[in-house]
Amino acid sequence: DQMSGEEGYIISLKDITFTKEIQEEMRRVDRLASLGVMASGIAHEIRNPLAGIKAMAQTFEEELQPDDPKNEYVKRIVRLVNRLDDLLRTLFSYAKPPKPNRQFCNLDEVLRDVFSLMRQKLREHNIKLIKLIHPELPRAFVDPGQIQQVLVNLFLNSVEAINKNGEIV
C-alpha cells in the first residue's frame, strides 16, 4: 500500500501434477506409436525373405522321395517358417489394428453383454454395479466389438482403482 508504506505479496500456487502426468502419458503414447510403425516395417522386411524360404523348402519337399529322411528336415523348416510368420502377423496387428466393422447396433445389448462378462470379476472384488441406463438408447453406427472392448477396459480399470468393496455407477 503506497499510503501506509506496508508491503504485501500475493502468492499463487497451482497444482500441475495432473497436467504433467497427462503430458508424460502423451509422450509415452507417441513413443509406442513410433515403435509400432518401426515393428511393422521390420516385420514386413522379414516376412518377404521368409516367404522365399518357405517356397524353396516346399519345392525341395516336392522333389524328394516320400521315404527320404530329408523330408522331416524340410517339413520342420516349413513349420518353423509358419511359426515365424504367425509371430510377424501378430506384430502387424499391434502396429496396424484391424479396420472397424461398423454396423448399426443396439448399445443396450452391448452394455448388457459387458455387464454379463464383468459380473464374476465384480463379485470377486465385492464391487456393486449401479446401472443407470437410459431406457431408450439410440442405435449407433459403431463396431460393437470395439465398443465392448473399450467398456471392458473401463470396467477393469475401475475394478483396479477400487480394488475391494466399492461401487461402479
CATH number at residue 74: 1.10.287
70-95 and 17-63 helices cross at what angle (nearest 10)? 150
- From 34, 60, 95, the end of a domain falls on 95
| Parent domain of 148 | 103-168
Please check whether residue 140 lies inside any domain of the structure: yes
Query: Do residue 62 and residue 129 come from a single domain?
Result: no
Whole-structure pTM value = 0.46
**pLDDT values of the chain reduced to their tens digit, one per residue, 169 residues:** 566 777 778 888 888 888 888 888 888 888 877 877 787 778 778 888 899 999 999 999 999 998 999 999 999 999 999 999 888 887 777 666 667 889 999 998 889 888 888 888 888 889 888 888 888 888 999 998 889 888 988 888 888 888 788 888 7
Query: Do residue 140 and residue 81 come from a single domain?
Result: no
Query: Do residue 84 and residue 137 come from a single domain?
Result: no
Total domains in the fold of the chain: 2
Query: Do residue 27 and residue 84 come from a single domain?
Result: yes
Number of CB atoms found within 10 A of residue 105's CB: 17
Query: Do residue 78 and residue 123 come from a single domain?
Result: no
